[in-house]
């Protein structure tokens, strides 16, 4: 959520930003906020005048009573009561205007960074850099679930019977490899100086609406029936929520945290052949990282965060590239975002395995995350980035390490986490 003062002083810039995100239907929100803001400030001014008048009259009552002018005092008491009644109605009006303003402000997108490429959707995202040489072997690479099945590592049929489509059982060495990746990611981030965290896997609605846009919420989140609780779609939400309504001390910043959690997503409207298997699923596990920092430090952290994901994948010799997300592909709270994509030798193209975002102060403003300043308090900046989400990571790992005989080599950095196993061999059954 942007600063209403900024909108008030620069409405044309806010409108231009909306146009750059191809959300012209939201332009009317700016004018509505400006109109409501005028009414709200008038109501506040009226309230201040009423309270001042009430205080002035109230101060007279005691003196009149001391002078024995009871009738005059009673008359003023009646005036004070009338003012109190007016104040009640005025406060209701202020609250109504405030809620209407907030409702609209929550829908107005964050101001995007000047470097963000302009485009309507992810087809206009721009490649920044490639890391590692993408290789296509001279033998065919099976679909990832076929590789897993040859290693007796996945059971989709049983998962469909138990939970429906979009779920899976990982078994044996594949399940162990999955856990090895998560454990390695945990230690990788701890070695970068991040504090390890296992957060709540459910969050309240006022946290949900603080960390994401309404459109994202509807498309992603599972609500717990009869409870003010939602299953998290990513652990960054509960980690950022940890700082809700907190006044942070400058000498404690930045807060750098990394977390493990299961994640639950509706994946509403998701379609395509890559839904088969474990590419797009309703439940998965992930290692995430977040930063809460001073505003002037956030862009340095942005570059650090996405580089950590690149380094993580390259440590397993998986080729990756970074993509700059265009304006139309940015969620409303994001000022800038880039995707990290891993090479798929089977598809002979890259696919998304992580996303890094700087939300500047938009998320902190929604959640009330402020920094205690010398003269006045101000909003922190928040960032998040994927370390690894093993279902997709497993696809990249299996395809890039698949050998012609059906075996899969294990990257050396994972050996300590998988009992020294260096190669997985297909079952003879």
> Tens of pLDDT along 345-404?
999 999 999 999 999 999 999 999 999 999 999 999 999 999 999 888 999 999 999 999
CB 399 within 8 A of CB 144: yes
pLDDT by residue (tens digit) across 200-251?
999 999 999 999 877 777 778 899 999 999 999 999 999 999 999 999 999 9
Q: Where are the beta strands (DSSP E) in 192-318?
A: 195-197, 202-203, 222-223, 230-231, 247-248, 255-264, 283-293
Rounded to whole angstroms, the Cα distance separating 393 from 316 reads 11
Q: Give me Rg for the CA atoms of the chain.
A: 28
Q: Are 309 and 340 in contact (CB under 8 A)?
A: yes
Q: How many CB atoms lie within 10 A of CB 85?
A: 10
Residue 15 pLDDT: 98
- Provide CB contacts within 8 A for 85, sequence distance 6+: none
Predicted pLDDT at 360: 97
List, in order, residues 6 or more apart from 110 with CB less than 8 Å away.
Answer: 1, 2, 332, 333, 334, 335, 359, 360, 362
Contacting residues for 308 by C-beta, under 8 A, at least 6 apart: 188, 189, 192, 289, 385, 387
Domain boundaries, the chain: 4-105, 122-424
Give the DSSP letter of residue 425: -
Of all residues in the chain, the percent with pLDDT exceeding 90 is 82
pLDDT of 151 above 60 = yes
- Side-chain-side CA neighbours of residue 205 (13 Å): 8
Instruction: Decide which of 3.10.105.10, 3.40.50.720, 3.30.930.10, 3.40.190.10 is the CATH code for 122-424.
Output: 3.30.930.10
pTM of the prediction? 0.90
Do the first three CATH levels of 4-105 and 122-424 match, i.e. the same topology?
Answer: no
Average pLDDT, the chain: 93
Query: What pLDDT digit, counting tens, does each position of 267-283 carry?
Result: 755 444 345 678 888 99
Calculate helix-pair angle for 298-314, 172-190, nearest 10 degrees: 140
Average pLDDT over residues 292-319: 97
Give Cα 9 distance to the centre of its chain: 28
Determine the Cα–Cα distance for residues 364 and 383; give it in Å rounded to an integer. Answer: 10
Q: Residue 326 pLDDT more than 70?
A: yes
Query: Cis (ω within 30 of 0) for the bond into 153?
Result: no
370-371 and 247-248 strand pairing: parallel
Please report the pLDDT score of residue 273 as a whole number: 38
Q: Say yes or no: domain 4-105 is CATH 3.40.50.150.
A: no
Widest distance between CA atoms in the chain: 107
């Amino acid at each position: 959520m942007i600063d209403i003062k900024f909108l008030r002083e620069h409405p044309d810039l806010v409108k231009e930003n909306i146009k750059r995100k191809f959300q012209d239907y939201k332009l009317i929100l700016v004018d509505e906020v400006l109109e409501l803001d005028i009414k709200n400030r008038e109501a506040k001014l009226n309230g201040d005048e009423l309270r001042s008048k009430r205080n002035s009259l109230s101060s007279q009552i005691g003196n009149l009573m001391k002078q024995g002018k009871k009738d005059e005092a009673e008359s003023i008491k009646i005036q004070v009561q009338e003012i109190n009644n007016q104040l009640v109605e005025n406060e209701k009006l202020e609250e109504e205007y405030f809620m209407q303003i907030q409702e609209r402000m929550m829908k107005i997108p964050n101001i995007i960074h000047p470097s963000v490429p302009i485009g309507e959707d992810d087809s206009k995202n721009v490649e920044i850099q490639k890391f590692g040489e993408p290789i296509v072997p001279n033998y065919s690479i099976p679909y990832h679930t076929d590789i897993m099945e040859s290693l007796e590592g996945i059971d989709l049929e049983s998962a469909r019977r138990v939970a429906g489509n979009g779920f899976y059982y990982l078994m044996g060495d594949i399940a162990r490899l999955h856990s090895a990746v998560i454990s390695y990611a945990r230690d990788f981030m701890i070695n970068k100086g991040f504090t390890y965290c296992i957060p709540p896997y459910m969050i309240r609605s006022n946290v949900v609406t603080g960390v994401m846009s309404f459109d994202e919420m509807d498309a992603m989140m599972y609500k717990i029936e009869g409870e003010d609780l939602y299953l998290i779609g990513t652990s960054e939400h509960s980690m950022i929520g940890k700082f809700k309504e907190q006044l942070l001390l400058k000498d404690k910043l930045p807060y750098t945290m990394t977390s493990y959690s299961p994640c639950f997503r509706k994946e509403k409207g998701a379609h395509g052949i890559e839904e088969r298997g474990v590419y797009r699923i309703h439940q998965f596990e992930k290692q995430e990282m977040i930063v809460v920092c001073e505003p002037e430090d956030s862009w340095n952290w942005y570059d650090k965060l996405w580089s950590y994901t690149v380094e993580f994948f390259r440590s397993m010799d998986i080729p990756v590239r970074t993509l700059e997300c265009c304006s139309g592909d940015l969620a409303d709270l994001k000022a800038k975002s880039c995707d990290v994509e891993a090479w798929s030798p089977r598809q002979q193209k890259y696919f998304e395995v992580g996303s890094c975002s700087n939300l500047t102060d938009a998320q902190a403003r929604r959640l009330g995350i402020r920094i205690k300043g010398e003269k006045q308090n101000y909003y922190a900046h928040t960032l998040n980035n994927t370390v690894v989400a093993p279902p997709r990571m497993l696809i990249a790992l299996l395809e890039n390490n698949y050998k012609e005989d059906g075996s899969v080599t294990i990257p050396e950095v994972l050996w300590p986490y998988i009992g020294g196993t260096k190669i997985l061999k297909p079952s003879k059954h």
